[in-house]
Chains A and B, each alone.
Chain A
Amino acid sequence: MEIFLSQLFIGLSVASILLLVALGLTFTFGQMNVINMAHGEFVMAGAYTTYVIQGALGASLVTLGFLVALPLAFLVGGALGVVLEWVLIRRLSGRPLDTLLATFGVALILQQVARDVFGASNVQVRAPAFLDGAITVAGVSMSYTRLFIIALVGVCLAAIWAHLGRSPAGRRMRAVMQNRDLAAASGVRTPRVDRRTFFIGSGLAGVAGVAVTLLGSVGPTLGTNYLIDAFLVVIVGGLGRLRGAVMAAVALGLFNAYVEYGTDASIAKAAAFALIVVFLQFRPQGLVVQRARGLT
């Protein structure tokens, strides 16, 4: 029972990071049909942002540095995203597969930049003091860092929920996501909405970068590790669906945590993959929005 609960906890914390990375992907994918392979590098950029700020503020201000890093990483990730959208992705509209490949080239370049600036070996980011330790509930020890990550993702999720549901900008986002042409025809400036979506999605990746510094060291290929799993979340959850992404992330995180406990990490990965293929046999519509109006 304890094991069940502690794996549940670990699964949830893994799921929340996955979700944070996947959110940006699912929005840009749902809205612009863009697969941004450099998204993982925005996570990496967020992580290095934390590292740089800590270095600048010194050892005595670790907590402050960490808290400052959160909004700053959002801005860094967002800015990178907007630039990428503006320089490259806009020019590739209507060519989703080429976008995927070209952004992968960008990812390669960004990784090399990180390698040249910060060195090829991993660097350590210190967790703020208030996240030291753990709380034990029902015999399960829950570290404050993982609790913090879950809470952070919860806050981000709530903010997005409110943004999409309440604000006019969020409504425009949803409009473009549902029917781009109709939205454009009703006076929504779709390029502007696209840029905004990209900013928010990439910013969230930056925030995820701050969160992952709590779990391990930071290296140039940090993002790649999260990207594929995040994409699988998007595939299972469905395009631009907030709820689908949450469910898929939790399912994948928990599945990994439990299978990993029973066997080992590599088997868990392979099993998760098999599970996704099986899932597609029963719920392909979790993936493809079937539009029967004419042919796609």
Chain B
Amino acid sequence: MTDAPLLEIRGLEVIFDGFHAVDGLDLTVREGEVRFLIGPNGAGKTTLVDAITGLVRPAGGSIRFAGEELVGQREHRIVGLGVGRTFQTPTVFEQLSVLENVDVAASFRLPFRSLLRRRRGVTDRVRRALEDVGLAELQEEPAGVLSHGQRQWLEVAMVLCQRPRLLLLDEPVAGMTGEERLRTGELTTRIAAEGTTVVVIEHDMDFVRRFATRVTVMHEGALLAEGTVAEVQQDAMVRDVYLGRPRDARGAAVVA
């Protein structure tokens, strides 16, 4: 683990029709970290990931990744630089088989000429990714038949086999059973141990407590607190934010 900041966000602003979804956010993630990002609904977590990956255009601020400015770059270039992400609502290619989904993802750096050749067999990287997420058995099935949880894993496999330097996971365990969560958490830890920096957006506090080292709390588009799980849970402002919304069951879980 080095100390160089891999991702450095300064004064980021995203505005939708006058509404500040992200409002002057600063965030630094170091190489090799597993960073958890939490915050109440609508805090702007997904919007932050969208801004990093080029899906929404920030109104201001800068996002530097490994020294390179990401703001204004096209989406596929950002991926090419080594930023991978999953989506809160998993999106997979339903007309392709599970294997083809992963293979398409794994081939993204091939020169165009090689794309024009057929796939022969399964590359190690693809097989490994499928085994990691436990979808090897289903590899010939069309992705359209997968359940929600399986789609989430398929997305993870797709992004894993791309070997990104920074992996952004948007609520990867939402809708999963306890056992599935455990497995996803372990996978996340292992990915990080192999040198990928991971940012996980998650609501489930059991999951956060179990797998997080550092946690960043967002609220109304800005950074509210940052520290270890214990530190964050002690933080008065964090308590206020969550207790101020008593009906938010997830908030209750945070301060529990």
Chain A residues packing against B (C-beta within 8 Å):
292, 294-295
Give the distance in Å from the alpha carbon of A294 to the alpha carbon of B91 in the complex. 9
Flag if A292 contacts B87 (CB, 8 Å): no
Instruction: Tell me the bound Cα distance from A294 to B170 in angstroms.
Output: 11
Q: A292-B16, A292-B55, A295-B87 are in contact. List 4 more A-B contacts (CB 8 A).
A: A292-B47, A292-B56, A294-B91, A295-B91
Q: How large is the interface on B (under 10, 10 to 19, 20 to 34, 35 or more residues)?
A: under 10
Whether the pair B88, A294 counts as a contact (CB closer than 8 A) is yes
Name the A residues within 8 Å of B88 (CB-CB). 294
B27-62: CB near A (< 8 Å → 1, else 0) gives 000000000000000000001001000011000000
The number of inter-chain residue pairs (CB within 8 angstroms) is 12
Whole-angstrom distance between the alpha carbons of A134 and B84 in the complex? Answer: 68
Q: Does B89 contact A (CB under 8 A)?
A: yes
Give chain A residues whose Cβ lies under 8 Å from the Cβ of B47. 292
Could you say which residues of chain A place their CB within 8 Å of the CB of B89? Answer: 294-295
- How many Å from the CB of B85 to the closest CB on chain A? 11
**A244 CB to nearest chain B CB (Å):** 17
Distance in angstroms between the alpha carbons of A93 and B16 in the assembled complex: 30
Hey, which chain B residues are within 8 Å of A292, CB to CB?
A: 16, 47, 50, 55-56
Residues of B near A295 (CB, < 8 A) are: 87, 89, 91
4 smallest A-B Cβ distances: which pairs? A292-B56, A295-B91, A294-B89, A292-B55
**C-alpha gap A292/B47 in the complex (Å):** 9
Query: Please, how many angstroms separate the alpha-carbon atoms of A295 and B89 in the complex?
Result: 9
| Shortest CB distance A284–B (Å) | 13
Q: Could you list 12 examples of A-B contacts with CB < 8 Å?
A: A292-B16, A292-B47, A292-B50, A292-B55, A292-B56, A294-B87, A294-B88, A294-B89, A294-B91, A295-B87, A295-B89, A295-B91
Nearest CB in chain A: distance from B56 CB, A = 5
Chain B residues near A294 (CB-CB < 8 A): 87-89, 91
The proximity string for B residues 84-103 relative to A, scoring 1 for CB distances below 8 Å and 0 otherwise, is 00011101000000000000
A94 to chain B, nearest CB (A): 14
CB distance from B94 to the nearest CB of A (A): 13
CA distance A294 to B55 in the complex (A): 9
Residues of A within 8 A of B91 (CB): 294-295
Contacts of B87 in A (CB 8 A): 294-295
Q: In the complex, which residue of chain A has the Cβ closest to the Cβ of B57?
A: A292
In the bound complex, what is the Cα–Cα distance between A295 and B87 (angstroms)? 9
CA distance A294 to B50 in the complex (A): 9
